[in-house]
Structure 1
Amino acid sequence: MELDRRLLLAHCTAHALSIVAGLLVVVPMALNGSAFKGRCALFSIGYWRTEDREELTGQPEDLSHLVVQQWGPPAACQFATFVGIFTVLYGAAQGWRCLFYLHGRHDDTLFSSFLTVLLSVCVLFLSGGASVILSLGLVSWCDTVTDHDTRPYSCSESQSVPLYLDVDTSSFYNELSLAQASLWGVTALWLAQSILAFLRLYHSHSQHISRPRGPREKELLLGHSPSENGSPTPPHPPTTPTIIV
């Protein structure tokens, strides 16, 4: 198996894995957005309030519930979802191209390979930024839910505790933690794709340099003219003598 074929197979595998990882980002984020009625839990600001409900039940009872002062910016959740959707679409398109190249036994041009490297590096930084935002946002929401670890339960256990909000919080930790892990996996895959794209660019450049050239191209590269290599020069046409009257 030649080197370019191994690189294509590795790139196809990376694209296939990126499709799966991207779906594992998009689906949990969509489910969480639906459960929270379009609100973003990341970087939300709130506090716990304790109220006396004796006037309602007739018995002294303290009820603690979470009060959300401000929900997180929607862009924090939308950014992670965008990276996941783009990864799925790009992975499907590039995976099909890799299979086409494997069947046709050829690779991208130098310019196309360079664009692939540039795009992979750009999306690598975008996915890395989205991973950091999602991780920090989840930590901030967990601090709000657990009241900075003063509650007798952890963040994962708080999804089974009634928070008395007007949203469904029964599975927020499972959804956001799965999206977080998958998004970091997407970032790792974009790093692998950037490396593979660079190796394919280097391989294509090496093949372009070592490609056999014709005699005329070799002479131009060496700076020789055809007459210097022993080829006969064309004879000059005979001149007609001029008669001066």
Structure 2
Amino acid sequence: MKQHKETSGGPTDPGRLVGSDRVLAVLRELARYPGGVGLDELTRVIGSPKPTVHRALGALRRAGLADQDDRSRYVLGDEFLRMAFAHHEARPDHVRVRPVLEALAHRFGETAHYAVLDGREVVYRAKVDPPTGAVRLTSTIGGRNPAHTTAVGKLLLARRLTSPAEVERWIGDPGADGAPGSDAALERRTPRSLCTTAGLFRELALTRERGYGVDDQENETGVNCLAVPLYLTSPSTPSGAVSVSALAYRTPLSLLVDALDEIRELLGPLGEPHS
């Protein structure tokens, strides 16, 4: 499952980064370089003067949020990692959903995710790999993918976009590439991705009817997925969706669909709406 890339592909406008904004921009950029990044490269990407970036790094280092390795390359600091992991482990949704993900990963020998909808993307809040035979997927906790190419995204969109006009408006949402209402606004991740208003509307209608979402190698070739809703914060509105992401040659989509009742049983009350 591909992880959606950040949009900061080039230098940031230095006029928009002042004070704490610049420090935060440096911190965010460091997260894109788990192997470390040099000051010159970081300066180029941030688009600010080298002394300014160096001062921001100094502030982050004093707070324990950044560090330098033995090659003098900058990396995220141990204190930042401690805070991030401690916060994630303590989140109520993570605590409640992890046993479900572990049960699904164990049962199918594939990766299980919990994700929520955020605008035009899904964000992965939790992930559990199977105990054996795991094949590393590129999805990460906190990572993003386009909603229209994922099972969890289509499942959650199906409740919000119930007419062709609503689908068209969503596709043409400000910030998307392409003109408002243009099918070109939808990214084609694989040849199977649904990238037209008509195609996405039909898929969302079918998703509403059957009550689960599928990704038939639409986000990443060779990987399929089935998603069902999860009710953590509301008795009637899903807080997100749980999915089983599988290698198509090993666990065909038809096998996951045939096991739908078992998947819902593993979710227990969290997978059932109630009044």
Q: Output the TM-score relative to the length of structure 1.
A: 0.22
Richer in strand (by share): 2
Richer in helix (by share): 1
Higher relative contact order (CA 8 A, sep 6+): 1
